[in-house]
Amino acid sequence: MTGPSGRTQGEDLHREVGDTGVTLEDLVQEALAAREMAYAPHSGFKVGAAVLTPGGRVYRGANVESASYPLTNCAERVAVQKAVSEGERSVLAVAVAADASYLRSKRAAQGPAAAPGAARGPGGAAGEVGSGEAELDLFVTPCGACRQVIFEFGPDAVVVLADLEGGRCVTSARRLLPGGFRLEATER
């Protein structure tokens, strides 16, 4: 879905992923719905994720916080682990949905030179798609542990980052985790 430059076109969100019958925008809508189930009483920061497998199944996940922060589970890992616990061993695409307004507020406070492109993509309008470094900085991205788990089951997975205002950023597991760690699995 993305070319060598990492750029994508808005219509790519509405193309079927593989032969699954699911589009990236469908996956984003699942992630937004999953976000509503988040348990975030300590931070108030809700994240939803949705994972698409080669068979066309979608697994949702939401972050689940604990008063003991190291025991908190991120939405992305919850979604991947739900898929794996149901027998899946491969991930085609992942969508992550979160409120990224604080990132845009921070960028705006730094002045226009700090915000090349625009807040939501190359043109800045809601619903536009971006995938450059400037755009990636304006979306909530998976943490390092989640990047590794996504890479484990989908090194070539497409990753869509979505905000609550309609902005989208399409990237990949390899771009989020260059040189990701892999062991040759003895069982898949």
Catalytic, out of 76, 128, 135, 152: 76
Separation between Cα atoms, residue 55 and residue 91, nearest integer Å: 10
Is 4 among the domain residues? no
Is 182 among the domain residues? no
What lies within 8 Å, CB to CB, of 29 at 6+ separation is none
Q: Which of 33, 145, 175, 23 is nearest to 93 (CA)?
A: 23
| pLDDT value for 3 | 33
Is 67 among the domain residues? yes
Q: Which domain holds residue 143?
A: 10-174
What lies within 8 Å, CB to CB, of 99 at 6+ separation is 45, 46, 140, 163, 164
Is 187 among the domain residues? no
Is 77 among the domain residues? yes
Annotated catalytic residue 76: yes
Q: Which residues of the chain fall short of a pLDDT of 50?
A: 1-9, 115-128
| pLDDT value for 118 | 34
Is 188 among the domain residues? no
- Sign of the alpha-carbon torsion through 35, 72, 61, 161: positive
Task: Calculate the dihedral angle through the C-alpha atoms of 77, 13, 1, 7, rounding to the nearest 10 degrees.
Answer: -100
| pLDDT value for 183 | 86
- Would the pTM count as exceeding 0.95? no
Separation between Cα atoms, residue 28 and residue 96, nearest integer Å: 7
| pLDDT value for 109 | 78
Q: Residue 133 maps to which CATH number?
A: 3.40.140.10
Is 102 among the domain residues? yes
| pLDDT value for 104 | 82
| pLDDT value for 13 | 92
Is 56 among the domain residues? yes
Task: Please state the domain count of the chain.
Answer: 1
| pLDDT value for 130 | 61
Separation between Cα atoms, residue 140 and residue 156, nearest integer Å: 20
